[in-house]
Amino acid sequence: MFRLQEKNVLVIGLGLSGAAAARLLIARGARVIAMDNSDTPGLRRVAEELRELGVRVELDLRMPPAGQFDFAVVSPGVAMDSPLVKELRQRETPVISELELGWQQAVCLNISVTGTNGKTTTTELIEHVLTHCHKRTLAAGNIGKPLCSVADETRQLDYLTLEVSSFQLETVRFFRPAVAVLMNITPDHLDRHHTLADYARAKARIFENQQPFDWAIVQTEALAMLRTLGVKEPSKLITFSANNRRADIHLDRSLIISRIEGWVGPLIDLEKTHLRGPHNAENVMAALAVGRVLRLPLEEMVAAISSFKPGAHRCELIAEINGVKFVNDSKATNLDAVAKALQTMPVARPGETNVLLIAGGRDKGLDYHDLGPLLAQRVKHAFLLGETREKLRASWSLFTPCTLVDSLLEAVNEAVKNSAPGDVVLLSPACSSLDLFRDYRHRGEVFRETVGQLQCPSNGGVARDGTMNGGVEKAFEIGTQFVGRNEKIFEELTR
């Protein structure tokens, strides 16, 4: 454990991770200054709490305060090329992530999961399997519970199960998972990482400090990309893929098959689980591989996976009304996630489009044209909202009819008017939520509540003919109101 007593530390950003880092540092005897570039009622409440603990807090501050710091802890939302971080580096102040700080203070081994898509479900699935097999663990990291907030609990754990983002990995120094899982790499966060190669290298930092006796569990397609970039994992390797039968663990129809020596043959039938689609098959493969290296009994893992139900906002069927299904996939914040959702949606009539897609939000620098051919095959109409709606329409209108809307309520209303029995209204945004919502969870909950009103139009909901009660419309508009560019805060990204 790294000693923090009497260290002078700057914490940048007072979202979940920054506040957790400040609390841990002050509890370990450090002298802490915490700053944020915004000043909102929520931040003032956090600041008041931290000041009572002995933290000096500065709000509405865009450059580091004067003084010398032993190191700085940055929240994931702070870009490494920002003027603030550049200033710290000019001062030769080491910059680390909250993940690194939490790892330095934890005292148990960790299993860490990263990748573009599937990392949250896989993290939750691994936690579920370990718990079922009587291992003491908890899920933390990018999943919504900062590692710093659970560092003291690690004395009672067998393993930490961590979801890790590329933003967090940018500023690790000694962070080392005993088992590192890389789910996949597809274009995402290019507004931050600029190129797919840079994004892949950031993800690959999960292996950087591993030792030959550690384990890397990697999707074969992601592994091939890393090899083209000259990245090699120093640890023992297990590969998995839903598409490559040469992988150590692969998919054959609904069966997950192992080629690992001493563990050859079918492991589980996905038809006997609550998880569907090739992407979920890979989530299961990763969890099984983790269990294998931890020597968990296969029959216990199968029982755990069979009882597991994926969390909200991931291709979540929330209602079927008049033969129309409403699916909440708010967590789909990139093109690959949307593609997987579209491929998973049921087909009403062969050769006919039946998905009414609701998409849009804050742009992440992606090439939205890439989704065009799949849209032409599956999407009947797209309803586009948020900052990137014009860009989406320019990219998608050649492939499917597109309508611009001003709110999620309007998008649902228009989708209902254009739907027919057998159709699917799918919220799968392909974008960040931070232009209109607090996070993807808020966006999904607003969608859920809006659809809930469809089932009771007499109470002010949206009727099947598309009419709606003004009071409810106003309420949902308040729920989805623009957060405001002047109220950006350094908070932990939960995408």
Comparing CA positions, the residue from 240, 218, 340 lying closest to residue 285 is 240
The contacts of residue 296 (CB under 8 Å, 6+ apart) are 129, 130, 133, 135
339 in Cβ contact with 374 (< 8 Å): yes
pLDDT value for 1: 63
Residue at 225 is within a domain: yes
pLDDT value for 464: 41
As a whole number of angstroms, the longest Cα–Cα distance in the chain is 68
Q: Where are the beta strands (DSSP E) in 322-455?
A: 324-328, 355-359, 379-384, 402-404, 424-427
Give the number of other Cβ atoms within 10 Å of residue 459's Cβ: 10
Q: Per-residue pLDDT for the chain (495 aa), expressed as one digit of tens each?
A: 689 999 999 999 999 999 999 999 999 999 999 999 999 999 999 999 999 999 999 999 999 999 999 999 999 888 888 999 999 999 999 999 999 999 999 999 999 999 999 999 999 999 999 999 999 999 999 988 999 999 999 999 999 999 999 999 999 999 999 999 999 999 888 888 889 999 999 999 999 999 999 999 999 999 999 999 999 899 999 999 999 999 999 999 999 999 999 999 999 999 999 998 898 999 999 999 999 999 999 999 999 999 998 878 888 999 999 999 999 999 999 999 999 999 989 998 888 999 999 999 999 888 999 999 999 999 999 999 999 999 999 999 999 999 999 999 999 999 999 999 999 999 999 999 888 898 999 999 999 999 998 876 544 444 444 444 443 343 334 333 433 333 333 333 333
Expressed as residue numbers, the domain containing 129 is: 100-307
Comparing CA positions, the residue from 281, 264, 265 lying closest to residue 273 is 281
Residue at 465 is within a domain: yes
Residue 433 sits in a domain of what CATH number? 3.90.190.20
CA quadruple 198, 202, 207, 209: dihedral positive or negative?
positive
Q: Over the stretch 299-331, which tens digit does the pLDDT of each residue have?
A: 999 999 999 988 788 889 999 999 999 999 999
Give, in order, the Cα–Cα distances in Å from 20 to each of 17, 102, 150, 351: 5, 9, 9, 52
Residues 302 and 346 in one domain: no
Residue at 494 is within a domain: no
Rounded distance between C-alpha atoms, residue 336 and residue 447, angstroms: 21
Residue 73 sits in a domain of what CATH number? 3.40.50.720
Residues 240 and 150 in one domain: yes
161 in Cβ contact with 111 (< 8 Å): yes
| H or E element that contains 255 | strand 255-258
Q: Over the stretch 332-391, which tens digit does the pLDDT of each residue have?
A: 999 999 999 999 899 988 889 999 999 999 998 889 999 999 999 999 999 999 999 999
Residue at 431 is within a domain: yes
Distance of alpha carbon 414 from the chain centroid: 28
Residue at 3 is within a domain: no
CA dihedral (426, 427, 429, 430) in degrees, to 10, reads -40
Residues 254 and 336 in one domain: no
pLDDT value for 457: 52
Rounded distance between C-alpha atoms, residue 31 and residue 26, angstroms: 7
According to DSSP, the β-strands at 255-258 and 265-269 are: antiparallel
pLDDT value for 174: 96
**What is the count of structural domains for the chain?**
3
Order of strands, edge to edge, in the sheet holding 379-384?
Answer: 316-321, 324-328, 424-427, 355-359, 379-384, 402-404
pTM: predicted TM-score of the whole model, two decimal places: 0.80
pLDDT value for 463: 44
Comparing CA positions, the residue from 494, 326, 290 lying closest to residue 415 is 326
pLDDT value for 314: 85
State whether residue 220 is helix, strand or coil: helix
Residues 184 and 326 in one domain: no
Residues 157 and 50 in one domain: no
φ, ψ of residue 110 to 5 degrees: the values are -130, 150
